[in-house]
Amino acid sequence: MAAEQPPIALTIAGSDPSGGAGVQADLKTFSALGVYGASVITALTAQNTTGVSGVFGVPPEFIAAQFQSVTSDLAVSTIKTGMLGDASIVETVVRMLAGVPCTRVVVDPVMVATSGDVLLDPDAIQCVRADLIPRAFLITPNIPEAAKLLNAHEANSEADMRAQAVALMELGCGAVLLKGGHVAGTAAVDVLFDGKDHHVLQMPWIDTRNTHGTGCTLSAAIAANLALGLQLREAVSAGKAFVWNALKSGALRRIGHGCGPVDHLFEPRPRTLEL
């Protein structure tokens, strides 16, 4: 019997010891969607559902060593980036990605945790803007992150989101998913811009404080779906549906004393989902 090679996705991100965000959330999401997950850890954090109490950045040369070990052995289909921490780490990741030019990269430009803790040094934002984003097949900023990347006001309407998605595209990425979870309303509205058309993705709002790791989970789900062979719009739609179901299931649980995590292992969880 011939051996089966599953699709492989790689996350380059920080570690969350409480298990709700970062590399841990990414690997859970990959597994839930039937994709083999590998990881390169950029930072160790001391955090839980109430906040981040410490960050220890991994030396850039060791980040590069992890990446070389993984990519020299595993046939990685997609890569996602999460918490990168500072400019030296961003620059290292950019150099690493240049060595795998055919691999699709999903960039989640993580700047601030759900708890409000800063996860990217201000001097690294320009490096993300000028060097990392042009390497991306897709970027997935939330509204505050988009505003920082554009040096603009925060979008407060769908029209603003459409305009900012176009402006973000001009930074050189392949596509933009602007997440609208920070805009109050009765629905969670995201805007996908593929360079030609805007696609509005909408799901009913879930009233829960258990939102720890939602951004990490969404970008990981999209990366996993791309590894499974879905096209951009399908991968994003399925990723949003995965997160919505994880939020819905997670709202019924109590883990920790703060903003609890979503439920990455909700049941049933078909390999692909449609809105």
Residue 120 covered by a domain = yes
Residue 268 covered by a domain = no
Q: Which residues of the chain register pLDDT less than 50?
A: 272-275
Please check whether residue 107 is in contact with residue 81, taking contact to mean a CB–CB distance below 8 angstroms: yes
Residue 18 covered by a domain = yes
Please check whether residue 22 is in contact with residue 51, taking contact to mean a CB–CB distance below 8 angstroms: no
Domain extent, residue 44, equals 8-250
pLDDT of residue 111: 87
pLDDT of residue 275: 42
Helix/strand/coil for 144: helix
Lookup result for tokens 């996860």: 119
Residue 275 covered by a domain = no
Structure tokens at 12: 């380059």
CA atoms 231, 29, 104, 198: torsion sign: positive
Chain-centroid distance of CA 60 in Å reads: 21
Lookup result for tokens 């969607």: 33
Structure tokens at 26: 């990414």
Residue 259 covered by a domain = no
> Which residues are identified as catalytic?
179, 211, 213-216
pLDDT, tens digit, 9 for 90 and up, residues 191-203:
999 999 999 999 9
Which CATH number belongs to the domain containing residue 100 in this structure? 3.40.1190.20
pLDDT, tens digit, 9 for 90 and up, residues 15-34:
999 999 999 999 999 999 99
Residue 231 covered by a domain = yes
pLDDT of residue 183: 60
pLDDT, tens digit, 9 for 90 and up, residues 60-98:
999 999 999 999 999 999 999 999 999 999 999 999 999
pLDDT of residue 274: 46
Helices and strands in the chain, H and E counts: 8, 9
Residue 256 covered by a domain = no
pLDDT of residue 273: 44
User: Would the pTM count as exceeding 0.75?
Assistant: yes
Residue 113 covered by a domain = yes
How many domains does the chain divide into?
A: 1
